[in-house]
Amino acid sequence: MAITAVKGFNDILPDESGRWQYIEQTARRVFELNGFGEIRVPVMEKTELFCRSIGDATDIVEKEMYTFTDKGENSVTLRPEGTAGVMRAFIEHKLYAQDPIAKLYYLGPMFRYERPQKGRYRQFHQIGAEITGVNEPLADAQVLNMLTTFFREIGLTEPTLQINSLGCPECRPGYRAALRSFLEERMEHLCEDCKRRFVTNPLRTLDCKVPGCIEATSGAPSVLEHLCSACDDHFSSVRRYLDLSSTPYSINFRMVRGLDYYTRTTFEMVTGLLGSQSAVAAGGRYDGLISQLGGPSIPGIGFAMGLERVALLLGSQKFVSLPDLFIATMGGAERDVAFRLMDGLLKSGVRVELDYEGKSLKSQMRRADKLKARYSVVIGGNEVTSGRASFKRMADGIQTDSALTVADIRSLVGKSDL
């Protein structure tokens, strides 16, 4: 038996990688335009980092982490998400000392031991961005704006923005209590999972998909009505800024987060096109995280988006570059000339393909067609002696005579000067 890849770990073949590069390049461009700089952090961290940031009792930490003991007897974990590692680096290098405001983005693989399905794999990729040091709702709005812009730039209209506020340590306990007493009266209508959630995390009952639960919780109190005045003001300002920038959004007071560190503003870019994987990007404010990790008391806000999910939304569009010219040759002697010509053209930025194996002219032309080369040229004895050749535009078969020089060919195939 040949060796196969590990379950949930996928290869990205050349056919698809163009789409990935397109996503990554678009993200980099949009993020850098907004003043974000890339930070590259390790894929592995001490296990404790994730326990303290994501939360000990979350599903991610409890059952989805790739955790093991290394040869030095340290418990290490393959990062299940990006924010924790970025904040660890932020604190470790005292980035806040150089500049009280940091705008960082990252991209790379994340690892979660889950059962794979559509849009969800054990190794998956995220691109995320974080702003630290800003309490003002302006930061929330810029992040949301940037995320919306990214999806517009990449050519997708489908994921739409939903926002909510989770309040802060001041007001959330009050809401939780109010929700609990509401649920208590409807216990018998809740599913088994929700009865469990009632104890562990009552907010979770709000996004249960069981019809009975949806009905039972339809009149549930909203977090938004239990925000303290500071949180309420913050949320109103965020909404006002979104309106000022014409950023479309809807409010979803039932939205919850799977990571414990979120406070105040939370949001998701959601789609109905990916089955149960509706969240394409998600994030929120995490004002307590940095101090919780042993850093100074600095607020933060950020998001992460799932590259696989964005790629699925882009569909099977191909993002490949096509050769400008295919050079066919008649025989061995001409191949030397063709090779030198290709070398010169490549160095001047013309994408050239050449027959490698001395095949028949028929085969060479078929290959030119298959590669979708824009032009083809045949180099034989006549061309070598005259220094000129006929360049065939493949789309319509029209041939144009031109000298076999890099400059002339460049202008013929339509590459503007550097």
Partner RNA sequence: GUGGCUAUGGUGAAGCGGUUAACACAUACGACUGUGACUCGUACAUGCGAGGGUUCAAAUCCCUCUAGCCACCCCA
Q: How far is the CB of 22 from RNA (least distance, A)?
A: 18
Q: Which of 37, 275, 294, 414 binds RNA (CB under 7 A)?
A: 275
Instruction: Tell me how far CA of residue 124 lies from CA of 55, 136, 217, in angstroms.
Output: 21, 32, 33
Q: Are the C-beta atoms of residues 123 and 55 closer than 8 Å to each other?
A: no
The number of residues that bind RNA (CB under 7 A) is 72
Nearest residue (CB) to RNA, 22 versus 96: 22
Nearest residue (CB) to RNA, 102 versus 256: 256
Enumerate residues 133-172 that contact RNA by CB under 7 A: none
Q: How far is the CB of 323 from RNA (least distance, A)?
A: 12
Q: How far is the CB of 109 from RNA (least distance, A)?
A: 10
Token pair of 30 as six digits: 């949009």
Q: Which of 31, 36, 50, 124 binds RNA (CB under 7 A)?
A: 124
Told to check if 301 binds RNA by CB under 7 A, we report no
Token pair of 411 as six digits: 């202008």
Nearest residue (CB) to RNA, 204 versus 232: 204
Nearest residue (CB) to RNA, 360 versus 411: 360
In this structure, the chain runs to a length of: 418
Enumerate residues 62-81 that contact RNA by CB under 7 A: 64, 81
What b-and-e string marks burial along 200-211, b requiring 16 or more CB atoms within 10 Å of the CB?
eebbbbbebeee
Q: Which of 27, 41, 104, 259 binds RNA (CB under 7 A)?
A: 259
Enumerate residues 352-371 that contact RNA by CB under 7 A: 359-363, 365-370
DSSP-assigned letters across all residues of 57-97: TSHHHHHS-EEEE-TTS-EEEE-SSSHHHHHHHHHHTTHHH
Q: Give the helix ranges, DSSP H, for 251-403.
A: 289-292, 307-314, 332-347, 361-370, 381-386
| Cα-Cα end-to-end distance for the chain | 52
Told to check if 278 binds RNA by CB under 7 A, we report yes
Phi, psi dihedral angles at 169 (to 5 degrees): -60, -20
Q: Closest by alpha carbon to 258, among 183, 307, 197, 178?
A: 197
Nearest residue (CB) to RNA, 35 versus 275: 275
Q: How far is the CB of 190 from RNA (least distance, A)?
A: 12
Nearest residue (CB) to RNA, 16 versus 114: 114
Q: How far is the CB of 285 from RNA (least distance, A)?
A: 14
Enumerate residues 2-21 that contact RNA by CB under 7 A: 4-5, 7-8
Cα–Cα distance, 124 to 282 (Å, whole number): 15
Enumerate residues 78-107 that contact RNA by CB under 7 A: 81
Given CA atoms 243, 249, 254, 258 in this order, what sign does their dihedral have?
negative
Enumerate residues 369-398 that contact RNA by CB under 7 A: 369-370, 376, 378-383, 389-390, 392, 394-397
Told to check if 309 binds RNA by CB under 7 A, we report yes
Token pair of 9 as six digits: 């770990």
Enumerate residues 190-249 that contact RNA by CB under 7 A: 193, 197, 204, 208-210
Q: Are the C-beta atoms of residues 126 and 279 closer than 8 Å to each other?
A: no
Token pair of 148 as six digits: 């919306």
